[in-house]
Structure 1
């Protein structure tokens, strides 16, 4: 609901609520901001408000057929577009335009929501630009991006740009703790995402706690038992971090660890995330030079980039372990 969104994105929520009250929604919005700051949730609430006829105010009722189907992702007149592989292709936009050429199933309204809009190929971007220039009927477009600079300037000029601010780590930790999540897990999650719902999801079924343990175990092997590191990688790491997104989170936890070691070296212990591992962090802080710590951080960031470029995960992790073991 809009009141909830006002807690985390007051400027965005206020602007959209005012537009809904005055019945002056733009035909196209560009939501820009970091990952996990609530862009997708806002787009869904906006779509519900756009379609909902059971509510007289800006807030959707959440109980009518339109609201329920938008929430479940199967509304016939709400179309979600996301990357197929590494990009959003022109054929996806052509299919969308074909869908929009048909009469709405239950009304004249239609909504399309494009996630990671920066991943549109040049053909797709130019195709959707024509779509934005010539909106058909009561159409509402929401494009979302984490890389505003990659969006065509002509698309930006034809959209109302709304900038989403990241949720502060301190605020996120407090919210997660209110949800019954441990302070240790909450602090870890606050370094990975800015979004409360995503944070809660990461903590469900103790996923983040298990992920932390596996990262600590692998780092222990690299540091103290290097000959067992590759066995731990094969038997512990790879079976747990199966999906690409999970692997990225695992590498994020590596980065957090080595940053904590650096914080320990420069006496910034109040900023440490792995608060339950201070003895091990202190041990590595004494053992590793700042040059080596910098090299380790760079190695992990390189691994994250290679994973984005579709390097085989097993090979990528083996290369990372070799770099972490270098003197």
Structure 2
């Protein structure tokens, strides 16, 4: 949960600058369209914006997070902040009409009102036209925040009445920091941050016991290939295939294995700060001494080729057995 604009510098610096500038100069648009991929923080930042709009102790655009308004917005109980989400697969005209009726009343506690429409691209045509009338005649001190992952599906007439705020995919370092802030161990956070740029997915993966076990299995397979080469095919049969028992999981397993060899290459070329499996870096340093850059590049290519072959209905156990034999060469 992002509670301050300062925190946002790590995740969405351009969004931070645009919105803080509007708040500090008191030049708020009557409607914003937050667009970007899933997990880029749109809803979280919409809540932060609402707190800045209603905070009783605002300091240079930063909400205090302690006043009655901030606390009620965090808990979803502020009477003048309304969130509309799809009812089933779409947002219906009746939902927009109910919102308009609510906003025709004076503010319960002040003359300010704010509403957020989640997945605004899922409005029916009638709902969108109903909202359009609302946007064409904005009330003073009323702010609309529309959230979407697919703004190209929205009416141009609605787009033209909103200030567009684009959210960029999160960088691995930003995902890693977010996970660490959530209490995820650093060695898990660094690995998960390579798998997704969706903050919500990242948190789900990092807290999944299956993923923690997958990471352990991958490290163990690597150690077996290095120290007990003849045991690697047996390990694939007895442990790997039991855990990575579906195509999607097998892909994740190959990705996790690939990152070990990327780490070895990073160490080899002097980029230790880029190592992902930093909890086993000493072991990787020793192993890297026995390998050339060329052999590491070839091993990484073999893993990527195996990923491609997974989609060609190749027997996954046979694929893994062939792969470990290839990785043990050189």
TM-score interval (norm. to shorter) = 0.5 to 0.7
Q: How far apart, in 2, do the equivalents of 1:2 and 1:264 lie? A: 36
Q: How far apart, in 2, do the equivalents of 1:263 and 1:174 lie? A: 19
The answer to whether the 8 A contact 1:116-1:144 is kept is yes
Number of the residue aligned with 1:202 = 204
The counterpart of 1:115, out of the listed 103, 113, 118, is 118
Unaligned runs of 5+ in 2: 218-232, 267-273, 285-295, 320-330
Return the offset for 1:177: 4.6
CA RMSD of aligned residues (A): 4.4
Change (3 A) 1:207 1:176: closer
The counterpart of 2:94, out of the listed 91, 96, 102, is 91
The counterpart of 1:257, out of the listed 250, 253, 276, is 253
With the length of structure 2 as denominator, give the TM-score of the two structures: 0.66
Specify the structure having the higher radius of gyration (Cα).
2
Residue 294 in structure 1 maps to residue 308 in structure 2: yes
Q: How far apart, in 2, do the equivalents of 1:264 and 1:185 lie? A: 13
The answer to whether the 8 A contact 2:260-2:277 is kept is no
The counterpart of 2:82, out of the listed 79, 88, 107, is 79
Q: Deviations over 1:31-59 (max 9, x none)?
A: 11122222112111111111123325311
Does the residue aligned with 2:8 lie in a helix, a strand or coil?
helix
Residue 131 in structure 1 maps to residue 134 in structure 2: yes
Q: Where does structure 1 differ by over 4 angstroms across 4 or more consecutive aligned residues?
A: 177-180, 198-201, 214-217, 258-276, 288-292, 322-327
Number of the residue aligned with 1:304 = none
Number of the residue aligned with 1:105 = 108
Q: Deviations over 1:209-261 (max 9, x none)?
A: 434537999xx9xx748xx97xx98xxx9xxxxxxxxxxxx95x654334456
- Corresponding pairs, count: 280
The answer to whether the 8 A contact 1:89-1:120 is kept is yes
Change (3 A) 1:108 1:254: farther
The answer to whether the 8 A contact 2:259-2:276 is kept is no
Return the offset for 1:180: 5.4
Return the offset for 1:156: 1.4
Q: How far apart, in 2, do the equivalents of 1:64 and 1:151 lie? A: 36
Return the offset for 1:65: 1.2
The answer to whether the 8 A contact 2:32-2:163 is kept is yes
